[in-house]
Amino acid sequence: MIHTLRALGYRDYRIFLAGQGAALIGIWCQRIALVWLVYNTTGSPLLLGFVAFAGEIPFLVISPMGGVIADRLDQRKALIVVETVAAIQAFILASLVWTGTATIPLILLITTILGTCQALDMPLRHTMFPKMISDPQDMPNAVALMAFMNNAGRLIGPIIAGFLISAFGEQLCFVLSGIGYLLVIAALYKISIPSSKVVEIDSTIAQQLRSGAAYAWSHLPIRATLGLLAMIGFCYLPYLILAPVFVRDVLLEDARILGYLLSSAGIGALLGLAWIARQTEIKTFPRAICFSSAAGAIGMLMFAQSGSLLPASIAITMVGIGIVVSATAINIYLQIIVHPEKRGRVLGLYTTAFFGIAPLGNFFAGAIMESIGVTATMLILGLAGLLCTTAFGVTYNRINKATALLAAQPDAGQIN
């Protein structure tokens, strides 16, 4: 157990993790409240997919810029600004719902603002880890514990959201989200990490973007894992907009059941992350990526065939494993093998591949769900995920060999 929690020995990391943990519950409350508000108000899967698209499309456009910012500016100060804007949007959304003035165009605008904040947040947040963790051997544990906290929020947040929506309405979920962002800001003011070193100051932003993309493309391990991550974002993350339709139209249940069902996605992920948090060998991560992605594909296929709450919960637990364990293992893997001066830009591409591709998957799922139904949509996404995971597995040995060469380069690897 001590080995699993070893990153908590660092003061700044403990404070940062506590702030993020409080915020993540509110973030998940906001996500569930938003999808329920839109679908319950409009009854349109297409609009549900479009709202999800608006919230996540900034990841496709903004995240690479966030990676450049993380490599050039002071990450803590930049993150305070981002979290402040995120808190403001949550309180505005709460007031709009409270007063009955939350129209779809306003929801789209506010959701796009939040998506922009989150697209900048992720590269900034993850590039702060090496400043809080002095021993490189503890880096995988730090990333895994953060993902573990995220999934604790995924487990608790939907249950709280379901209760609040049923008892009081969606607005309290948005208030809780805003308070969570304020707690993150308080944590950022308490940590004392060194200011960021600005790199490649003579190059333009466009040049840095190109050099980061060229670096990622030129190395098979980075290219292959980012490609698989993009598939996960396209095929698995749409379960968040498929689930409300499934609960209302197949299970014939309400928001509380939606909360319980979505919480199931965090259960298996938490178990998988507890295992990942103990790993220190680089060769572990490609194998974990492959197996967890396969679990996600099988989960989507099982979800499509579920006719009651219990099998649906088991299936969505496997989807949670596929999403969270794969994404966390890829994050750790990239942090280990990339050169420190390219870390921000590669993590910006990581965010783009995962969350930036997700809106395309949401839009696709919402569009075809209108004509072929939720069950057939899940089957298509599950089969596509299984095919891409198989392709990754075929190149597994080549990826391992290339990983050893990349990690052996000076300053490129963090652990053996």
**123-138, pLDDT tens digit by residue?**
787 777 777 777 767 7
Binning pLDDT at 50, 70 and 90, where does residue 414 land? very low
Percent of the chain surpassing pLDDT 90: 10
Name the residue type at position 338: V
Does residue 373 carry a pLDDT above 50? yes
Q: Which structure tokens are listed for 216?
A: 């990622």
Binning pLDDT at 50, 70 and 90, where does residue 1 land? very low
The H-assigned helical ranges of 250-373 are 255-276, 284-304, 309-320, 326-337, 343-351, 358-372
Mean pLDDT of all residues in 68-85: 80
Residue-level pLDDT at 386: 93
Residue-level pLDDT at 92: 92
Does residue 252 carry a pLDDT above 70? no
Q: Is the dihedral of CA 141, 143, 145, 147 positive or negative?
A: negative
Q: What angle (nearest 5°) sits at the alpha carbon of residue 68, between those of residues 23 and 132?
A: 50
**Is the distance from CB of 212 to CB of 342 less than 8 angstroms?**
yes
Which range, 112-121, 136-145, 349-358, is most confident?
Answer: 112-121
Percent of the chain surpassing pLDDT 70: 86
87/58: higher pLDDT: 87
Residue-level pLDDT at 413: 45
Residue-level pLDDT at 323: 87
**pTM of the complete model beyond 0.95:** no
Residue-level pLDDT at 36: 81
Mean pLDDT of all residues in 172-198: 81
Binning pLDDT at 50, 70 and 90, where does residue 407 land? low
* Cα–Cα distance, 341 to 86 (Å, whole number): 28
Does residue 50 carry a pLDDT above 50? yes
Residue-level pLDDT at 87: 92
Does residue 22 carry a pLDDT above 70? yes
Smallest CA-to-CA distance from 222 within 413, 23, 402, 24 is with 402
Comparing 30-34, 181-185, 276-280, 338-342, the range with the smallest average pLDDT is 276-280
Mean pLDDT of all residues in 314-340: 84
Q: Which residues contact 236 (CB under 8 A, 6 or more apart)?
A: 296, 297, 300, 319, 322, 323, 381, 385
Kindly report the CATH number that applies to the domain delimited by 9-189+204-407. 1.20.1250.20
DSSP 279: -
Binning pLDDT at 50, 70 and 90, where does residue 315 land? confident
Mean pLDDT of all residues in 239-247: 78
Binning pLDDT at 50, 70 and 90, where does residue 59 land? confident
Does residue 324 carry a pLDDT above 70? yes
On the 0-12 / 13-18 / 19+ scale of CB atoms within 10 A, 357 is buried
Cα–Cα distances in angstroms (integers) from residue 226 to residues 220, 302, 409, in the given order: 10, 26, 20
319/412: higher pLDDT: 319
Residue-level pLDDT at 2: 46
Helical packing angle, 374-394 and 358-372, nearest 10°? 140
Cα–Cα distances in angstroms (integers) from residue 44 to residues 18, 51, 109, 248, 259, in the given order: 38, 11, 19, 12, 20
DSSP 308: S
Secondary-structure breakdown of the chain: helix, strand, coil percentages, each rounded to the nearest 5: 85, 0, 15
> Which tens digits make up the pLDDT trace of 81-122?
989 999 999 999 999 888 888 888 888 888 889 888 888 887
Q: What angle (nearest 5°) sits at the alpha carbon of residue 105, between those of residues 103 and 109?
A: 115
Cα–Cα distances in angstroms (integers) from residue 122 to residues 26, 78, 236, 251, 351, in the given order: 17, 12, 19, 35, 7
Does residue 28 carry a pLDDT above 90? no
Average pLDDT of the residues of the chain: 79
Does residue 326 carry a pLDDT above 50? yes
**Is the distance from CB of 249 to CB of 374 less than 8 angstroms?**
yes
Q: What angle (nearest 5°) sits at the alpha carbon of residue 221, between those of residues 338 and 393?
A: 150
Q: What residue spans define the domains of the chain?
A: 9-189+204-407
Residue-level pLDDT at 84: 93
